[in-house]
Amino acid sequence: MSIDISKLFSSSDTTDSKSFNFLLKALKSHSTDGFDYLKFRKSIKSLKDMNLDDSTAIKSAFATASTMGLSKDKLSKSISFYKKVLEKEKKAFDQATSRQINEKVSGKKKEKDSLSSKNLELEKKILDIQTQMQLINQKLSTIDQELDKAKQKITDTTERYETAFNELYTQIEEDESLITKHL
């Protein structure tokens, strides 16, 4: 008996159809021979489509299935089997998600941490450079002041020298003139 499993289960509008269909495919790929839970569910759905209530549909489907060897215990084990199929798929999905988190999220977090660390190092270097620049600027300012003082001192010394020179030179010239005039 071929089963269109997508007609046996319905999903809400908020359920991701890709995930839902993937899980349905997993159930179908593990479908067993004989009258199992999926075939039982198909029988119930067919009976409910004829407007039978849940209780009547389940009892009628079970009565028919029991003639083909299905017992309550076999049905329960079949339900457990399909639940385990879904649980196995969930476990595989969780592992894949965990790998994705490790590869993509954790990788990006490591990259972010590394860049943040480099950023802090660069900020420290910038502060060090700024501190060095301030010290150099202070030194330059001090040198400028020292240059101005040195220039002023030289200018003052030159002026005093020139004054002394001119004074002495003038006196000698005056003496020369007087000597030349009187001798």
pTM score of the predicted model: 0.60
User: Does the residue 38 lie in any domain?
Assistant: yes
Q: Give the tens place of pLDDT for each residue, 38-56.
A: 999 999 999 999 999 999 9
User: Does the residue 151 lie in any domain?
Assistant: no
Per-residue pLDDT at 115? 95
Say which amino acid occupies 46: S
Range of the domain at 91: 5-119
User: Does the residue 96 lie in any domain?
Assistant: yes
User: Does the residue 98 lie in any domain?
Assistant: yes
User: Does the residue 156 lie in any domain?
Assistant: no
User: Does the residue 113 lie in any domain?
Assistant: yes
User: Does the residue 88 lie in any domain?
Assistant: yes
Q: Domain tally for the chain?
A: 1
Where does residue 144 rank: exposed (0-12), middle (13-18), buried (19+ CB within 10 A)?
exposed
Q: Give the tens place of pLDDT for each residue, 161-182.
A: 999 999 999 999 999 999 999 9
User: Does the residue 169 lie in any domain?
Assistant: no
The three-state DSSP-derived secondary structure of the chain is CCCCHHHCCCCCCCCCHHHHHHHHHHHHHCCCCCCCHHHHHHHHHHHHHCCCCHHHHHHHHHHHHHCCCCCHHHHHHHHHHHHHHHHHHHHHHHHHHHHHHHHHHHHHHHHHHHHHHHHHHHHHHHHHHHHHHHHHHHHHHHHHHHHHHHHHHHHHHHHHHHHHHHHHHHHHHHHHHHHHHHC
User: What are the pLDDT tens digits along the chain (183 aa)?
Assistant: 567 888 888 888 899 989 999 999 999 999 888 889 999 999 999 999 999 999 999 999 999 999 998 999 999 999 999 999 999 999 999 999 998 888 888 888 888 999 999 999 999 999 999 999 999 999 999 999 999 999 999 999 999 999 999 999 999 999 999 999 999
